[in-house]
């Protein structure tokens, strides 16, 4: 290649260069701020993870698969996946190959390196060295075509989002729209600009052909500069609105992935990881369709994508409204392609709320409780304990106390299997702390956690059985019980059945299993309840199940939703479970059971009562 | 306003109540449901904190209506926010939000 201009400069590169330098500076400062906002311990862990080979490889792999290829979107919908990966990966390859061609064909770059890879074709004339554009130029045109196809799909998606598997999409904000239109115009303008110079600088199947076909218009070199100016301006505008629009997710996600892989959790509601998550939100709106509150149209504006937008705008009253309303079912977290944790983000927002006073449990005498259930401590144990059997402590929890059938059934199963057990809260005990935790009052919740820990450790048990997934989640996440196995009753029954300690008769009833939010998405228990149920009858699946199961609507997560407003959600969740017309709805959460029982036409039971009825 | 040819005179009730209900009015603005409570006591009978401390949401609401803020605040400090009262309330009051609003409006070192 031969340079056309001695200076290698033209004024039209300015909008692009200014925009790019602005974005780079903004992202660099933003990245340093987020890392500095992390608690010292987390920051140290983050830096260590950056140099650990294992996480390093995982970071690179995740960034490639998630940011460029968008694998999660491919799994959801092929068209949606292609649209995103064609734009992201295609653009990345244009930049990469653009740099390669510049370094292959020019020397003495200097400051020209800033804009040559983008505007290369304007500044050079073709010589023999390009082999008539057979390789590099072909690749450039090919990836330009890929990006253009993605842009075409993006335009279609704005009108017909259902083709892409999305019922509702986000309402874009003003800056989002500017970013969107400038992004759409970048690539057609690039095609136009490169087609003008294709007869001088060379090109491939796309640019050169266009130059031949529209020879009257495109070989008029007087039109060349306006086209290059327009291309550069589109890039400049995109870069200038990027930090203030949803496109900020492109650079932020590159930071979020290593932060997540380092195992950092949200500590501050607005800083550090929370900030990285908020800015990583691409406003794709997948959480809108996922949200169980979406059955009522008025709640659409309270989904995670709008929470992120309001946090970016510091709109305190809306942040409070959105974060208090949420059921904390965690489905938005499960479907989010970038990994924004909508539920944890909301708990963090609740935790910065100011109260004049708060609970204080110092007057609760734990020793009294310990004495009541320390059956397994030596000297207090009258029965002959077999060495191989569990020393099991059963914590029923507040919600199970409202559905005593579950407690009876669980105790009956424990007796049938010959397990040695003690009930920790037969007449009600201290709450597990999860409801308080969900209300954002973390310190008060931890006080309850400490009290319960003391009772459990004092009981001498080696297994803690829970029949409520709400308790189960906080016991797994916040409690530290060395030497004690925490187990949910679905897992426990599954073990009893597979070990042959519990004989279950198989009936002909068709059961559908509802995955409770806290058990499924919260603790990742999906298989055990299904295997238990299929021992007792025929198991059918709901339309949306496992990770995508729909919250019953009774969740304690929501602070402001009254009973009247939850009815539509419950009915929607019941309809989802009825897709294969089962005889009975089975769940593993006392709260789900009570909620479904209110509106379901077929019986609703807990898995323990089903198994107890069908076993001997 | 339609003209009926006569007017309803303003109420001539003399309120001798000395209780300052300013905070309760504020609570009622945030939580209109607080007037729905019929003091049935379902919340108190299910309350797990009641076993340890005699906590009773029914009493708290009555106390607040009568201006006995000190007693109510002292009792509120035992709540575990477990949500059982919400589940059993026959009037469908969102008791958890009511309790959080009480924490926000009332203060501990009152008078």
How confident is the model at residue A132, as a pLDDT? 63
A448 in B contact zone (CB under 8 Å):
yes
How sure is the predictor about A190, in pLDDT bands with cuts at 50, 70 and 90?
very high
- Residue range(s) defining the domain that contains residue A543: 504-613
How sure is the predictor about A387, in pLDDT bands with cuts at 50, 70 and 90?
low
Does residue A532 sit in the same domain as residue A465?
Answer: no
Name residues whose C-beta falls within 8 Å of residue A547's C-beta, 6 or more positions apart in sequence. Answer: A334, A520, A521, A526
- Which two tokens mark A488? 């949910």
Tokens 């020019």 label which residue? A106
pLDDT > 60? residue A388: no
CA distance A358 to chain B (A): 6
Q: Is residue A1 part of a domain?
A: no
Chain centroid to Cα A409, Å, comes to 36
CB contact under 8 A, A563 and B53: no
pLDDT > 60? residue A467: yes
Report the candidate in A252, A234, A242 with the shortest Cα–Cα distance to residue A175.
Answer: A242
Tokens 């704005």 label which residue? A158
Residue A232 near residue A36, CB atoms below 8 Å: no
Cα–Cα distance for residue pair A568/A564, rounded to 1 Å: 9
Report the candidate in A594, A603, A599 with the shortest Cα–Cα distance to residue A569.
Answer: A599
B79 in A contact zone (CB under 8 Å):
yes
How sure is the predictor about A241, in pLDDT bands with cuts at 50, 70 and 90?
very high
Does residue A490 sit in the same domain as residue A509?
Answer: no
Q: Is residue A6 part of a domain?
A: no
Cα–Cα distance for residue pair A467/A591, rounded to 1 Å: 11
Domain definitions of chain B by residue range: 20-110
Q: Least CB-CB distance to B104: which of A355, A436, A556?
A: A355
- Mean pLDDT of chain A, nearest integer: 90
- Which two tokens mark B74? 């002292």
Report the candidate in A51, A70, A9 with the shortest Cα–Cα distance to residue A253.
Answer: A70
Name residues whose C-beta falls within 8 Å of residue A141's C-beta, 6 or more positions apart in sequence. Answer: A203, A204, A205, A206, A207
CA distance A59 to chain B (A): 40
The number of distinct structural domains making up chain A is: 4
Q: What is the pLDDT of residues A403-458, one digit of tens each?
A: 999 999 999 999 998 888 989 888 888 999 999 999 999 999 999 999 999 999 88
How do strand A420-423 and strand A463-466 relate by DSSP bridges? unpaired
Does residue A515 sit in the same domain as residue A387?
Answer: no
CB contact under 8 A, B83 and A435: yes
Which residues of chain B neighbour A429 with C-beta distances below 8 Å?
48
Report the candidate in A397, A415, A447, A376 with the shortest Cα–Cα distance to residue A606.
Answer: A397
The whole model's pTM is what?
Answer: 0.90
**Which residues of A72-130 form beta strands (DSSP E)?**
124-125
SS3 B13: coil
Q: Least CB-CB distance to A355: which of B46, B94, B103?
A: B103
pLDDT > 80? residue A228: yes
Residue A309 near residue A173, CB atoms below 8 Å: yes
Q: Is residue A264 part of a domain?
A: no
Residue A470 near residue A397, CB atoms below 8 Å: yes
pLDDT > 50? residue B111: no
Q: Is residue A272 part of a domain?
A: no
Q: Least CB-CB distance to B87: which of A361, A402, A425?
A: A402
Which residues of chain A neighbour B80 with C-beta distances below 8 Å?
359, 361, 398, 430-431, 433, 435-436, 448
**The domain spanning residue A192 has which CATH number?**
1.20.950
The residue from A444, A475, A494 where one domain ends is: A494
Find the closest chain B residue to A434 by CA distance.
B82
Share of residues in chain A with pLDDT > 90 (%): 69
Question: Residues for chain B: how many in total?
Answer: 111
CB contact under 8 A, A355 and B92: no
CB contact under 8 A, A562 and B94: yes
Which residues of chain A neighbour B104 with C-beta distances below 8 Å?
353-356
The helix (run of H) or strand (run of E) holding residue A605 is strand A604-606
How confident is the model at residue B8, as a pLDDT? 78
Does residue A346 sit in the same domain as residue A197?
Answer: no
B 21-60 near A (Cβ less than 8 A): 33, 46, 48-49, 51-53
Residue A397 near residue A467, CB atoms below 8 Å: yes
H-assigned helices in A489-588:
489-498, 527-536, 563-577
Sheet holding A510-514, edge to edge: A538-540, A510-514, A584-587, A604-606
CATH code, residues B20-110: 1.10.1060.10
Q: What is the pLDDT of residues A572-589, one digit of tens each?
A: 999 999 999 999 999 999
CB contact under 8 A, A359 and B78: yes
Q: Residue A69 carries which DSSP code?
A: I
Does residue A395 sit in the same domain as residue A307?
Answer: no
pLDDT > 70? residue B66: yes
Q: Is residue A42 part of a domain?
A: yes
How sure is the predictor about A5, in pLDDT bands with cuts at 50, 70 and 90?
confident
Residue A112 near residue A8, CB atoms below 8 Å: yes
Q: What is the pLDDT of residues B10-35, one digit of tens each?
A: 878 887 888 888 899 999 999 898 99
Q: Least CB-CB distance to A563: which of B51, B92, B108?
A: B92
Dihedral-angle region of residue B13 (phi above 0 means left; psi in -120 to 50 means alpha; beta otherwise): beta
- Mean pLDDT of chain B, nearest integer: 88
Query: Averaged over A56-63, what is the pLDDT?
Result: 94
Does residue A229 sit in the same domain as residue A304?
Answer: no
Q: Which residues pair with A464 in a beta bridge?
A: A393, A486
CB contact under 8 A, B84 and A398: yes
- pLDDT: which is higher, A427 or A46: A46
How confident is the model at residue A593, as a pLDDT? 94
CB contact under 8 A, A429 and B107: no
CA A455, A461, A467 angle in degrees (round to 5)? 80
How much is the ipTM here? 0.86
Among the ranges given (A57-66, A275-284, A355-364), the one the predictor scored with the smallest mean pLDDT:
A355-364
Report the candidate in B52, B43, B45, B54 with the shortest Cα–Cα distance to residue B87.
Answer: B43
CB contact under 8 A, B108 and A402: no
Tokens 């136009």 label which residue? A192
Cα–Cα distance for residue pair A582/A578, rounded to 1 Å: 6
Q: Which residues pair with A465 in a beta bridge?
A: A394, A487
Cα–Cα distance for residue pair B55/B52, rounded to 1 Å: 8
**The domain spanning residue A571 has which CATH number?**
3.40.50
How confident is the model at residue A379, as a pLDDT? 56
CA distance B48 to chain A (A): 5
> Is the sign of the CA dihedral A605, A606, A607, A608 positive or negative?
negative
Q: Is residue A270 part of a domain?
A: no
Cα–Cα distance for residue pair A287/A326, rounded to 1 Å: 12
Cα–Cα distance for residue pair A159/A163, rounded to 1 Å: 10
Q: Least CB-CB distance to B46: which of A324, A402, A429?
A: A402
pLDDT > 90? residue A188: yes
Does residue A35 sit in the same domain as residue A162?
Answer: yes
Share of residues in chain A with pLDDT > 70 (%): 97
Cα–Cα distance for residue pair A62/A55, rounded to 1 Å: 10
The helix (run of H) or strand (run of E) holding residue A511 is strand A510-514
Q: What is the pLDDT of residues A325-382, one digit of tens each?
A: 999 999 999 999 999 999 999 999 999 999 999 898 888 888 888 888 777 776 555 5
Q: Least CB-CB distance to B51: which of A359, A428, A444?
A: A428
Q: Which long-range contacts (CB under 8 A, 24 or more apart) does A306-313 make?
A: A306/A170, A307/A342, A307/A345, A307/A346, A307/A349, A308/A277, A308/A278, A308/A281, A308/A283, A308/A340, A308/A345, A309/A173, A309/A281, A309/A283, A311/A270, A311/A278, A311/A345, A311/A349, A312/A278, A312/A279
The residue from A235, A251, A267 where one domain ends is: A251
Which residues of chain B neighbour A452 with C-beta distances below 8 Å?
none
Cα–Cα distance for residue pair A549/A526, rounded to 1 Å: 11
Which residues of chain B neighbour A563 with C-beta distances below 8 Å?
92, 94
């Amino acid at each position: 290649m031969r340079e056309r201009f001695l200076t290698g400069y033209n004024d039209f590169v300015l909008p692009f260069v200014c925009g790019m330098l602005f974005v780079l500076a903004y992202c660099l400062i933003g990245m340093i701020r987020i890392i500095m906002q992390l608690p010292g311990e987390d920051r140290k862990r983050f830096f260590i993870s950056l140099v650990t080979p294992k996480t390093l490889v995982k970071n690179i792999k995740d960034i490639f698969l998630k940011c460029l290829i968008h694998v999660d979107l491919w799994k959801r919908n092929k068209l949606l996946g292609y649209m995103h990966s064609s734009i992201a990966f295609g653009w990345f390859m244009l930049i990469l190959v653009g740099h390669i061609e510049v370094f292959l064909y020019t020397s003495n770059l200097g400051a020209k390196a800033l804009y040559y890879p983008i505007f290369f074709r304007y500044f050079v004339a073709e010589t023999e060295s390009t082999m008539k554009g057979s390789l590099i130029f072909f690749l450039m045109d090919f990836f330009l075509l890929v990006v253009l196809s993605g842009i075409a799909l993006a335009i279609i998606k704005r009108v017909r989002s259902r083709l892409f598997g999305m019922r509702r999409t986000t309402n874009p904000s003003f800056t989002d729209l500017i970013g969107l239109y400038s992004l759409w115009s970048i690539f057609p303008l690039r095609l136009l600009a490169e087609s003008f110079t294709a007869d001088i600088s060379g090109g491939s199947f796309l640019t050169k052909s266009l130059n031949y076909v529209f020879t009257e218009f495109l070989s008029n070199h007087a039109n060349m500069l306006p086209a290059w100016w327009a291309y550069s301006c589109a890039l400049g505008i995109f870069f200038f609105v990027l930090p203030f629009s949803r496109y900020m997710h492109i650079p932020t996600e590159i930071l979020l992935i290593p932060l997540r892989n380092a195992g950092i959790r949200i500590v501050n509601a607005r800083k550090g990881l929370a900030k990285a998550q908020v800015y990583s939100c691409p406003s794709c709106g997948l959480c809108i369709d996922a949200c169980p509150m979406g059955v009522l149209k008025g709640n659409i504006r309270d989904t995670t994508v709008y929470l992120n937008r309001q946090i970016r705008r510091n709109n305190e009253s809306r942040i409070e409204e959105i974060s208090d309303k949420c059921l904390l079912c965690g489905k938005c977290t499960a479907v989010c392609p970038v990994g924004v944790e909508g539920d944890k983000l909301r708990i963090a927002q609740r935790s910065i709320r100011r109260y004049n006073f708060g609970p204080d449990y110092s007057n609760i005498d734990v020793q009294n409780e310990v004495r009541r259930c320390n059956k397994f401590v030596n000297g207090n144990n009258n029965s002959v304990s077999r060495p191989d059997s569990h020393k099991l402590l059963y914590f029923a929890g507040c919600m199970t106390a409202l559905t005593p059938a579950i407690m009876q059934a669980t105790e009956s199963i424990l007796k049938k299997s010959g397990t040695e057990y003690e009930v920790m809260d037969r007449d009600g005990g201290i709450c597990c702390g999860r409801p308080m935790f969900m209300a954002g009052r973390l310190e008060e919740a931890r006080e309850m956690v400490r009290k319960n820990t003391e009772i459990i450790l004092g009981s001498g048990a080696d297994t803690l059985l829970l029949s409520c997934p709400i308790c189960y989640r906080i016991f797994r996440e916040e409690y530290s019980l060395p030497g004690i196995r925490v187990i949910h009753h679905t897992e426990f029954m599954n073990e009893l059945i597979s070990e042959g300690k519990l004989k279950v008769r198989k009936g002909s009833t068709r059961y559908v299993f509802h995955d409770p939010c806290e058990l499924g998405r919260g603790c990742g228990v999906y298989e055990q309840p299904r295997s238990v149920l299929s021992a007792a009858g025929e198991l059918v699946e709901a339309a949306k199940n496992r990770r995508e199961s729909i919250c019953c609507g009774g969740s304690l997560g929501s602070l402001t939703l009254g009973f009247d407003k939850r009815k539509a959600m419950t009915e929607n969740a019941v309809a989802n479970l009825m897709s294969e017309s089962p005889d009975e709805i089975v769940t593993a959460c006392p709260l789900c059971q009570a909620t479904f029982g209110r509106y379901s036409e077929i019986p609703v039971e807990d898995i323990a009562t089903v198994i107890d009825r069908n076993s001997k | 306003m339609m003209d009926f040819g006569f007017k309803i005179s303003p109420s001539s009730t003399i309120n001798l109540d000395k209780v300052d209900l300013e905070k309760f009015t504020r609570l009622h603005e945030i939580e209109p449901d607080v007037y729905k409570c019929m003091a049935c006591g379902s919340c108190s009978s299910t309350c797990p904190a009641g076993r340890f401390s005699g906590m009773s949401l029914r009493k708290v609401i009555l106390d607040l209506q009568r201006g006995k803020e000190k007693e109510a605040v002292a009792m509120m400090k035992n709540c575990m926010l477990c949500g059982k009262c919400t589940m059993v309330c026959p009037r469908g009051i969102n008791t958890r939000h009511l309790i959080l609003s009480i924490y926000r409006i009332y203060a501990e070192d009152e008078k």
